[in-house]
């Protein structure tokens, strides 16, 4: 690509890359080490890598990394923001047969706030297992649906629709949301999809064993590491994470580490 046609790094992508990097470097990698997974010398694939900040943090911790995303523009930004790191990127869809980088297996597979968006979750877990070495690990993070912003309503322009738990108001997703003016149709559709899928912790903890995956690590947060971009400091949930129903509402993020049975 010539310099004249080389895309420019926009400010949003640069900020988002930094947020992805900080979450991985300051929280995800320390959690892995706490759970007995030493990154140095390991291989890793990020499914839904976004602008690639998290992948770069994993690389800087000593891992050999690849990443792919379904959104072409985000992969383009990842390629621009990678600097001189030796990381491979691709555009790809987890649902197609020819998924990227499927010619090998990895020590670590990462989905950072991707799983809640995916349909056919049992099939997705089976596909992810193909990426895992026999002793590999799968790291999945997501905001529980019933938490304050579990439907990602922070993406909306309408100020009052951004309020915590808006998505749990009766008919908010099915009747109110489609009638909001000036909203991105893509964001509206995504919020509606999340309202249909309702990915919560207890639901996930039933899905994993059904896919022959053991949960070997779990960390839930009252304030998720994702909220550092809003100037907030993460707060682990502690024993509250294991209180049925209550945890689904007050934990804004959860990280799971899984191994094959």
**Each residue's pLDDT tens digit, 211-221:** 999 999 999 99
Q: Which domains does the chain have, with CATH numbers?
A: 11-143+198-260 (3.40.50.150), 153-194 (no CATH)
DSSP state of 120: S
Q: Quick count: other Cβ atoms within 10 Å of Cβ 130?
A: 10
Distance CA 148, CA 237 (A): 15
Element (H, E) at 91: strand 88-91
Helices (H), ranges, 46-162: 53-60, 72-81, 121-131
The token pair at 94 is 């987890």
Distance CA 136, CA 132 (A): 5
- pLDDT tens profile 205-244: 999 999 999 999 999 999 999 999 999 999 999 999 999 9
Contacts of 193 (CB under 8 A, 6+ apart): 117, 119
- φ, ψ for residue 39, nearest 5 deg: -65, -35
State how far Cα 123 lies from the chain centre: 17
- pLDDT tens profile 116-137: 999 999 999 999 999 999 999 9
Residue 7's pLDDT is 67
What's the farthest any 2 CA atoms get from each other in the chain?
57
Distance CA 44, CA 103 (A): 13
Contacts of 96 (CB under 8 A, 6+ apart): none
pTM of the predicted model over 0.85: yes
What string of pLDDT tens digits covers the 261 residues of the chain?
A: 444 555 688 888 999 999 999 999 999 999 999 999 999 999 999 999 999 999 999 999 999 999 999 999 999 999 999 999 999 999 999 998 889 999 999 999 999 999 999 999 999 999 999 999 999 999 999 999 999 999 999 999 999 999 999 999 999 999 999 999 999 999 999 999 999 999 999 999 999 999 999 999 999 999 999 999 999 999 999 999 999 999 999 999 999 999 999
* Burial class of 128 by CB neighbour count within 10 A (0 to 12, 13 to 18, 19+): buried
Residue 96's pLDDT is 87
Distance CA 100, CA 20 (A): 21
């Amino acid at each position: 690509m010539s310099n004249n046609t080389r895309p420019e790094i926009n400010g949003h992508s640069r900020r988002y890359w930094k947020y992805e990097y900080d979450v991985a470097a300051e929280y995800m990698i320390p959690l892995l080490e706490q759970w007995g997974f030493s990154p140095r010398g390991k291989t890793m694939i990020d499914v839904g890598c976004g602008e690639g900040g998290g992948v770069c943090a994993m690389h800087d911790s000593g891992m050999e990394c690849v990443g792919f995303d379904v959104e072409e523009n985000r992969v383009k930004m990842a390629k621009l923001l990678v600097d001189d790191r030796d990381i491979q990127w691709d555009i790809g869809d987890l649902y197609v047969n020819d998924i990227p980088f499927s010619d090998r297996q990895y020590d670590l597979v990462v989905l950072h706030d991707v799983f809640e968006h995916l349909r056919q979750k049992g099939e997705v877990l089976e596909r992810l297992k193909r990426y895992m070495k026999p002793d590999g690990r799968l790291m999945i993070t997501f905001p529980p649906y019933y938490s304050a912003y579990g439907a990602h309503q922070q993406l909306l322009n309408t100020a009052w629709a951004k309020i915590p738990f808006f998505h749990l108001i009766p008919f908010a997703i099915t009747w109110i949301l489609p009638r909001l003016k000036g909203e991105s149709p893509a964001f509206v559709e995504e919020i509606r999809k999340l309202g249909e899928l309702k990915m919560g912790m207890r639901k996930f903890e039933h899905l994993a064993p059904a896919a022959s995956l053991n949960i070997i690590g779990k960390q839930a947060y009252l304030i998720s590491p994702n909220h550092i971009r809003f100037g907030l400091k993460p707060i682990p949930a502690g024993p509250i994470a294991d209180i049925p129903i209550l945890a689904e509402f007050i934990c804004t993020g959860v990280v799971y580490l899984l191994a094959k049975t």
